[in-house]
Structure 1
């Protein structure tokens, strides 16, 4: 079966959850299907990773582009301008006329059995793709993220901004979910939400996966009295999570454990977050790193204080695979089949979150027992090969169903004549 896959974002380096999930699935799908991938590619920073991109597919078609750097004056002006569009800002950010044309040109040159669009925000690049089964890979229910931003916003201007973004995203996400033959969600929660909000019945689910060989427990690593958070800091839910933890939770931990350190591992932090960090002792921000594992390995507790988000957080499975004890909010662990007190601690108040972190910092035996149990759990159930097999089955079913429907339509047309 020949599959064409649109990923608006170049998938390397693997410094976001979306990039990791997509690239790991494509790597396995390429063993099953003939796979062509199209994505934007920005030179020169993406050039060293071109061999990695070509490794996970049979054919890679790069489309040159230049992304506006975040938190610059130009970036803010672009966001302001896009705010007046009928489309939500993320959809406009991910649209490229050149990428849209490249997809159509490839479909005109070659015959494919299935076309897949990665992320709802990229669907404008797919708007003229016709006469082929179409599948949408939904890493999140995007309207949920906008809704939670709106609910958390304190400034009236930002509350109105996020309310408008929520309304726009809701409308377009509902429209796109109805236009695609099949939608893949990454959790049962997301599937149920899309069915409830958008009235669709074409949503399937795949589990979240983790590379248990790459993220492996390190026996020889000596843990520090250190807390770690890993995530791309230019994703607004991560930025919110860090401000929340630093302002409301970490001070409570420091009262009981003044020697505790906190390290934030992630690219492109906002100026506001940097300013907050500079005011608090024992906090370190790495910025972008090639490999997050050494920072996870040396830390005693892995935290996910996410208050805004959708989909699932792969970082939780990565921490579990490395044998780390984890404290998360309920939203942080949303959609993952993990049990409180067995695989992870869940806390939705500042006091309870701090209590669990302190408990783990102070009790090495309890921390290690939870971490090793969590490692075994993800090893047994959530390796990428299983996830990709589920994805491949949905692809095959989508093509089969479309062919069956086309045959029935043809037979009906012949009968009517």
Structure 2
């Protein structure tokens, strides 16, 4: 089958879990189909050149649909007019739809696959109105309404109302697209069950897992210069006070880490990832290092003693667990942090939800090297067996066979 994969976000190297999902989805789909890619972006051409060079190897045709960023006064004025026009007449959606449908016709595409389907509903809706018989996949990296609404217990006042309204809006979109699209993908059975419960035809919801490219983790790199041990490690995409990762990092720093320091005063806490320096850079000191965005997190992850997934609210499945498992690094997670991944507390990872218990779990792994090694090996075996690009290619073939059943 010929598949056209289109996404508004594409990045290599991947800076976070959603970008990593897109990369590995493309790798899997290229094994299961004849794949074309259209990247819809507002980034300037020079910043996406390396990305295009990487992804072309997986596509029969690769195209970038630019929304040019304004560079001078006249261009900024034109851009403002375009923004107003887009709000009133959906001009950007119409432009993107025409470009995509022209490609569908020229290449005789069988399936149109939307990466970042959670944020592509307006474009999906428009295209389906133009071509109701075109097979369309809405690929989701989470249940976005859960991602939003799970923040409610942690906010107050006007933000609480804003979160509720944003979550409710997303719920309505989710109900709409599971009926509109021929397939809605979910990253786990947990997410799939949500979509099936709101779908008239539950068979149109298919699991398309978060996975990693195991080969990328087979050679552990050396630690960065000055790397300190014993150490614990938290990685993710940060950026604003209320984000899941910022909330998790504050919880660690304020409520968990002090308990760890009581028994291990020399332990070092690495906070790694995009925009981590914005909220936590000022805390860098004898026991804390905040790196900001890195080309790759592997020098830190592969050489730390314990990886952490202390999430209080989120949705989807965590690449943090998959990557630590691939690198044979022992893990401590909250229950929600491990959602959708069939890990067992005490067999693959340690799970704790209260600050003192989370700290005790970290200390246990720092002190008991045999336990830490056994958990790491078990988690590695689980990830290697169930969460590889090869296993995702099998899921891709099953989805395409389902779409081709007519």
Quick check: TM above 0.5? yes
Name the structure 2 match of 1:88.
none
Q: Determine whether 1:2 maps to 2:8.
A: no
How many Å apart are 1:32 and its aligned residue?
A: 3.1
Superposition TM-score, scaled by structure 1 size = 0.83
Can you list the C-alpha shifts for 1:113-169, whole angstroms capped at 9, x where unaligned? 11111222112222222231111112101100111122321x312111101101111
Deviation at 1:281, TM superposition (A): 4.8
- Tell me how far apart the structure 2 counterparts of residues 337 and 216 of structure 1 sit (CA, whole Å): 22
Determine the structure 2 residue equivalent to 1:169.
170
Partner of 1:249: 256
Tell me the distance in 2 between the aligned counterparts of 1:386 and 1:108: 31
Give me the whole-angstrom Cα distance separating, in 2, the residues matched to 1:354 and 1:198. 41
Could you list the runs of 5+ residues in structure 1 that have no partner in the other structure? 69-80, 86-91, 405-417
Q: 2-side partners of 1:358 and 1:67: how far apart?
A: 49
Contact 2:211 / 2:387 at 8 angstroms: preserved in 1? yes
Rounded to whole Å, the distance in 2 between the matches of 1:66 and 1:283 is 40
Q: Distance in 2 between matches of 1:132 and 1:150?
A: 38
Q: What does 1:272-283 align with in structure 2 at a 5 Å threshold?
A: 272-275=279-282, 277=283, 281-283=286-288
Partner of 2:135: 133
Give 1:336 deviation, angstroms: 0.3
Q: Distance in 1 between matches of 2:53 and 2:219?
A: 28
| Aligned match of 1:144 | 146
Equivalent positions of 1:372-391 (< 5 A) are 372-391=377-396
Q: Residue 396 and residue 213 in structure 1: after superposition, are their counterparts in 2 closer, same or farther (change >3 A)?
A: same
Q: CA RMSD in A?
A: 2.7
> 1:96, CA displacement in angstroms?
5.8
CA distance in 2, matches of 1:175, 1:226: 46
Quote the Cα distance in structure 2 between the aligned partners of 1:243 and 1:281: 18
Distance 1:392 1:67, change over 3 A: farther
Q: Relative to 1, partners in 2 of residues 1:48 and 1:139: Cα closer, same or farther, differing over 3 Å? A: same
Find the counterpart in structure 2 of residue 75 from structure 1: none
Mapping 1:88-103, distance limit 5 Å: 98-103=95-100
2:103 counterpart of 1:106: yes
- Tell me the residue number matched to 2:114: 117
Tell me, what secondary structure is at the counterpart of 1:287? coil
Segment drifting more, 208-217 vs 162-171: 208-217
SS at match of 1:20: helix
Give the aligned partner of residue 305 of structure 2.
300
Alignment counterpart, residue 213 of structure 2, candidates 201, 211, 230: 211
